């Protein structure tokens, strides 16, 4: 080794000198990166990034979140169609669900949040900039009331601040705790009391109060997040995810009075039929199924119907196009392809759902409902994708994924982009859980009204809670 110079380096100009400089640069650069980006790694919930679609609770994706000190866990519905994160809290009589009964006779007790029981909790006053509701006085606690369009559903209470417990979504699993403003939901109505969001709702919308905005404002994550929707009903959620160079994208439509994850469809293709019809749609994880207005709804449904070989049937359902099906046979349906603004194509990997309407009587339906006013891409049309909600670049991204390994584009045996028809195994689809005969209520504040539905708990929930 060369002789050390005044700064502890080898003699200037020697080979060792340049090796040492390069090594020091790497160390310094690494320290700088750690200092600047230590809190900007992708994050997820402290219990992990897993999400699960639970059909008896509304076909939505749910995850456990931990809040407060000491921390309590809550099973919340993940909703990109609404902004406020709320938890059942200091419940007024009849205003919350405190337990979930099972057919086996077992009962799952649900946690109820209380600001008085958390040492890190603070109420939000009416002078806080995040308080946008009318207050009785400046010194009062900030009230809130969110009304959802499905079945007179609402959540009412006060705003509070407390710690949300997260971890880095990597191999290190480092804890990241950050203050968050959310609703102390003292009184819930409608489907929230029937199981739609029995233990809270996690608002992922665009408003200042939404969780992604708060994480970005606190400097712990970039202002974006992704959700993955697997064919096996499992999924993932990651905050601060900036997407992939392989994903497809389309810009959000900006300038709305109430900003949503709204994008434009410019072309529609169903099997052999294509059309230049276009419309604006909201990507909403808080809506179970997909709702489209005319003329696009009629084009897709009639084009689909004209290319299906099975006999059409009807039963008590909001789905207009359903077909008889043998439980042991495969069936073939036309592909559904949406061209987004900018030209990237979005292939719907699961356009149908299998319905077991009675013992031995199975049908499948086009998972599409006609809407009179607003168009929504619901969870069923997001299946098979990791969806990126990039609020910094204001784009929606999507990439086919099985939610286990993003290097594998899709676990399905077909490629929708290469065929006008998609072959589906009815037994496999049925086992995946798409067996509700009626579209259920959804918590999204942007969702259209649906028929009333009584949420029945099944053994699926028992196995789910046993796993987590």
- Catalytic annotation on 79? yes
Cross-strand partners of 67: 72, 164
d(CA 453, CA 463): 23
**Residue whose token pair is 């796993």:** 467
- Do the strands 336-340 and 262-270 form a parallel or antiparallel pair, or are they unpaired? antiparallel
Cross-strand partners of 100: 108
d(CA 449, CA 374): 11
Of 50, 90, 284, 390, the active-site residue reads 284
HSE (CB half, 13 Å, CA atoms) of 203?
A: 25
**Residue whose token pair is 């496999």:** 428
Burial of 261 by CB count in 10 Å (0-12 exposed, 13-18 middle, 19+ buried)?
buried
Look at phi and psi of residue 372 and say left if phi exceeds 0, alpha if psi is from -120 to 50, else beta.
alpha
HSE (CB half, 13 Å, CA atoms) of 91?
A: 20
d(CA 26, CA 354): 56
d(CA 109, CA 98): 6
- Catalytic annotation on 284? yes
Cross-strand partners of 107: 101
Of 79, 83, 90, 162, the active-site residue reads 79
Residues marked active site are found at 79, 284
């Amino acid at each position: 080794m060369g002789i050390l110079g005044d700064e502890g380096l080898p003699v200037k100009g020697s080979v060792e000198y340049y090796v040492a400089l390069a090594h020091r640069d790497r160390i310094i650069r690494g320290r700088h990166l750690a200092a600047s980006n230590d809190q900007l790694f992708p994050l997820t919930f402290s219990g992990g990034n897993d999400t699960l679609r639970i059909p008896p609770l509304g076909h939505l994706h749910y995850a456990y979140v931990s809040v407060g000190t000491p921390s309590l866990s809550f099973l919340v519905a993940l909703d990109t169609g609404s902004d406020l994160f709320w938890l059942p809290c200091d419940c007024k009589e009849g205003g919350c669900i405190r337990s979930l009964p099972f057919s086996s006779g077992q009962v799952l007790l649900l946690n109820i949040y209380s600001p008085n029981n958390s040492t890190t909790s603070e109420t939000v006053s009416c002078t806080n900039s995040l308080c946008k509701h009318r207050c009785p006085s400046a010194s009062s606690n900030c009230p809130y009331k969110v009304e959802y369009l499905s079945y007179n559903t609402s959540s009412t209470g006060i705003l509070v601040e407390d710690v949300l417990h997260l971890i880095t979504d990597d191999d290190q699993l480092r804890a990241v705790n950050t203050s968050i403003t959310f609703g102390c939901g003292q009184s819930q109505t409608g489907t929230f009391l029937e199981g739609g969001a029995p233990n809270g709702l996690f608002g992922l919308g665009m408003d200042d109060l939404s969780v992604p905005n708060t994480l970005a404002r606190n400097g712990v994550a970039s202002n974006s997040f992704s959700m993955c929707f697997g064919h096996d009903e499992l999924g993932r959620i990651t905050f601060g995810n900036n997407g992939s160079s392989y994903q497809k994208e389309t810009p959000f439509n900006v300038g709305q009075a109430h900003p949503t994850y709204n994008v434009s469809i410019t072309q529609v293709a169903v099997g052999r039929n294509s059309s230049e019809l276009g419309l604006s749609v909201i990507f909403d994880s808080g809506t179970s199924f997909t709702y489209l207005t005319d003329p696009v709804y009629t084009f897709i449904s009639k084009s689909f119907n004209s290319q299906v070989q099975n006999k059409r049937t009807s039963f008590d359902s909001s789905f207009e196009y359903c077909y008889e099906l043998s439980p042991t046979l495969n069936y073939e349906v036309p592909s559904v392809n949406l061209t987004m603004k900018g030209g990237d194509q979005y292939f719907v990997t699961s356009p149908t759902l299998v319905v077991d309407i009675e013992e031995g009587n199975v049908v499948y339906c086009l998972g599409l409902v006609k809407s009179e006013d607003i168009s929504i891409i619901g969870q069923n049309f997001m299946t098979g994708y990791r969806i990126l909600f990039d609020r910094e670049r204001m784009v929606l991204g999507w990439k086919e994924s099985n939610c286990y390994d993003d290097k594998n584009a899709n676990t399905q045996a077909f490629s929708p982009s290469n065929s006008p028809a998609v072959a589906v195994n009815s037994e496999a689809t049925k086992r995946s859980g798409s067996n509700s005969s009626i579209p259920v209520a959804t918590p999204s504040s942007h969702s259209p009204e649906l028929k009333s539905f009584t949420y029945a708990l099944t053994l699926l929930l028992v196995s789910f809670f046993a796993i987590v």
